[in-house]
Amino acid sequence: MIGIDVEKILELAPSPAYVVDLGRLRHNLAILEDVQQRSGAKILMALKAFSMWSTFPLMRKSLQGVCASSPWEARLGREEFGGEVHSFSAAFKQSDVVELLKISDHLVFNSFNQFERFRPLWEQATGRVSIGLRVNPEHSEGTTEIYDPCALNSRLGIPRREFDGRSLAGVEGLHFHTLCEQLFEPLARTAAVFEEKFGEYLPGLKWINFGGGHHITRAGYDIDGLIALIKYFREKYGVEVYLEPGEAVVIGTGLLVGEVLDLVDNTIPTAILDVSATCHMPDVLEMPYRPEILGGAEPGAQAYTCRLGGPSCLAGDIIGDWSFPQPLQVGERLAFLDMAHYTMVKTSTFNGIQHPHLCTYEPQTGELRVVRSFTYEDFRSKLS
């Protein structure tokens, strides 16, 4: 990971632990702040990807607020981040809408049914909460169906055909989210389809939200192209443009530190760690996703190949197979790279397995700070 002293973090961190490098976080925020200044867009932090709120004071120096997927996320954004709070869900309960109207600046509906059903509620907040609709351009750029909002039969977003004969009275913005971990070109193609299908509704609106999935801070991203696209929509339609990346804010900032607990051999050497796929990095099982490991390579690429597994009773709690320069040893530390996003927000305490410590590392001082450690009481209080 560029600019991170992984060896130093391995030396200082407890295990297991998520560690966020504040220097790399500032690097990402500087890129996003530059995009805002040059384009006039407003960039929000997607809490669904990362909500380690001890880092929010740093983030809010650059970003304009948060996007939330539930009343709890919206409340966290309002209380701990500040700025604008934009809320969206595939469907709301009435109690959700009541609560969200108190703490949100934008409220986006996923269907005309919910938009009209809750009209009596949101109309009371007219002038204070801006109402939007999420649309589905039906233009797929995704490579993995489970993460593709435009996959066939998607439940996310309203397709163009459902707009025929509908009143948009009260709608102030349109929102589309179609990407996942992608560079600029898929956004450019999607925006063209969005404009072709929904452009007739844009005059008179106040805002457009380009959603998330933009890897703006990744090497190779066409930032100038993004800025030009934002300016095009702002100037042609007189609207504010929002983006709500999650990964782009924290990509390359985080490590998951783990330790080898035991070594077993049942046709393949296997290291059992104090970190778990099912508890600590579920995308390994859901996507599937393969994290990078400092010093690790593809099986057979180095002298020693072994399987890495978690400590849970789930037979499938397998992180994967890697090769290393020499055999692993009990007590050895491993660093899983780029593990800030979609990790902490997805963890569980299945089997009562210890939740990793939450840490930050300040490269300017060399200080590793344990922000929070979890106890039995945290595990106990989750249920009754």
Model confidence pLDDT, tens digit, residues 183-224: 999 999 999 999 999 999 999 999 999 999 999 999 999 999
Distance from the first to the final alpha carbon of the chain: 41
pLDDT bracket for residue 65 (50, 70, 90): very high
Is pLDDT above 80 for 1? no
Measure the CA–CA gap between 138 and 319, rounded to whole angstroms: 34
CATH superfamily of 6-18+254-339+347-381: Lyase, Ornithine Decarboxylase; Chain A, domain 1 (2.40.37.10)
Is pLDDT above 80 for 159? yes
Report the residue count for the chain.
384
Model confidence pLDDT, tens digit, residues 123-152: 999 999 999 999 999 999 988 888 899 999
DSSP output for 68-93:
ESSHHHHHHIIIII-SEEEEE-SS--
Calculate the average pLDDT of the chain: 96
Mean pLDDT of 166-170: 96
pLDDT bracket for residue 266 (50, 70, 90): confident
pLDDT bracket for residue 69 (50, 70, 90): very high
Instruction: List helix spans (H) across the chain.
Output: 6-12, 22-39, 56-59, 71-76, 94-103, 112-117, 119-122, 184-198, 223-237, 247-250, 277-280, 283-286, 376-381
Pairing of strands 333-337, 292-293: antiparallel
Model confidence pLDDT, tens digit, residues 73-96: 999 999 999 999 999 999 999 999
Model confidence pLDDT, tens digit, residues 105-116: 999 999 999 999
Amino acid at 184: F
Pick the closest to residue 119 from 54, 171, 52 (CA basis): 171
Pick the closest to residue 47 from 56, 57, 37 (CA basis): 56
pTM, two decimal places? 0.95
Q: What percent of the chain has pLDDT over 70?
A: 99
Is pLDDT above 70 for 155? yes
Domain borders along the chain are 6-18+254-339+347-381, 40-249
Q: What percent of the chain has pLDDT over 90?
A: 96
pLDDT bracket for residue 286 (50, 70, 90): confident
Is pLDDT above 70 for 2? no
CATH number belonging to the domain at 40-249, selected among 3.30.43.10, 3.40.50.1820, 3.20.20.10, 1.10.760.10: 3.20.20.10
105 Cβ contact partners less than 8 Å away, ≥ 6 residues apart: 65, 84, 85, 86, 129, 130
Mean pLDDT of 239-253: 97
**Where do we find the tokens 């703006």?**
216
| pLDDT (0 to 100) of residue 131 | 98
Going 289 to 292 to 298 to 304, the CA torsion angle's sign is negative
Mean pLDDT of 344-367: 97
